[in-house]
Structure 1
Amino acid sequence: MKHFLLTWLGTAVALLITANIVPGFILSGFAAALIAAVVIGLVNAIIRPILQILTFPITLITLGLFTFVINALTLWLASAITPGYGFEIRGFVPALLGSIVLSIVSSIVNYFVSAVD
């Protein structure tokens, strides 16, 4: 349970850092980041596997680069699911850049979280 909470908090911090780096990626505060982290986790657990199966031929042809598009679409969908909660992504390009920055920042934050745990 401790690891789950630390990962959730780490993802929320990574979202806040990403919002400060990527224009068009908007978070109103830490509470919005916590809600966004939950929604992103649910979208990644439920919808992303379906998208990966449906787009496998395109991903294979592009040698895996289409995975960036899938990540951006799931992030954009998560922001669309949470209107009025302070999490907004304004367009596909901020979603694409945000997904790349978020994966890098999240990896770094999770590295430090695992060192504490």
Structure 2
Amino acid sequence: MGFVIRLLVSALALYLLTQVYSGVYFVPGSGVGAVVIAALVMGVVNALIRPVLLLLSLPVNVLTLGLFTLIVNGVVLWLVAALTALNVAGFGAAVIGALILTVISWALDAVVGALGLDGSRG
């Protein structure tokens, strides 16, 4: 059940990103399925490719005190856009979109946690 909730929260975060930032958008006519597929691809890319990118960029990340992670997150969003119905206006838009997506996901995770839907017991 936790996986489904995490997937739906990620899909909602992607959808909200496309509503608040015009640099990232879904192909016109895309439905809920396209949003869920993009969230699923985002999860797979975050689990498999993002750690490799972070490891390869470790020296630059240390030199920039972690700010290069924003660029890596932009690359991840750009890659997801290349694989799904999500469109990004350019690499700069991907970096800004990734930053906004992080804030939206953080807020949604806080709401889900406050409602007790995250499966934690406390």
TM-score (normalizing by structure 1) = 0.90
Deviation at 1:88, TM superposition (A): 1.4
**In structure 2, what is the equivalent of residue 33 of structure 1?**
35
Any idea what the Cα deviations from partners look like across 1:38-89, whole Å, max 9, x if unmatched? 001111111111111110000000010000000000110111122xxx3111
CA apart distance, 1:14? 0.7
In structure 2, C-alpha distance between the alignment counterparts of 1:51 and 1:96, rounded to whole Å? 15
Give the structure 2 partner of residue 59 of structure 1.
Answer: 61
Q: Is the 8 A contact 1:36 1:78 kept in 2?
A: yes
SS of residue in 1 equivalent to 2:87: strand
Q: What residue identity is the alignment partner of 2:39?
A: A
Unpaired stretches in structure 2, ≥5 consecutive residues: 118-122
Q: How does 1:1-117 map to 2 (within 5 A)?
A: 2-27=1-26, 28-82=30-84, 86-116=85-115, 117=117
Does structure 2 retain, via aligned residues, the 8 Å contact 1:8–1:34? yes
Task: Supply the distance in 1 between the matched residues of 2:94 and 2:107 (Cα, whole angstroms).
Answer: 20
CA distance in 2, matches of 1:5, 1:113: 13
For the residue of structure 2 that corresponds to 1:64, the secondary structure is coil
- 2:120 corresponds to which residue? none
- For the aligned residue pairs, the C-alpha RMSD in angstroms reads 1.1
For 1:15 and 1:105, the matched residues in 2 are separated by: 9
TM-aligned CA deviation for residue 24 of structure 1: 2.2
SS at match of 1:43: helix
Q: Aligned pair count?
A: 113
Of Structure 1 and Structure 2, the greater helix share is in 1
* TM-score, L = length of structure 2: 0.87
Shift in Å at residue 20 of structure 1?
1.0
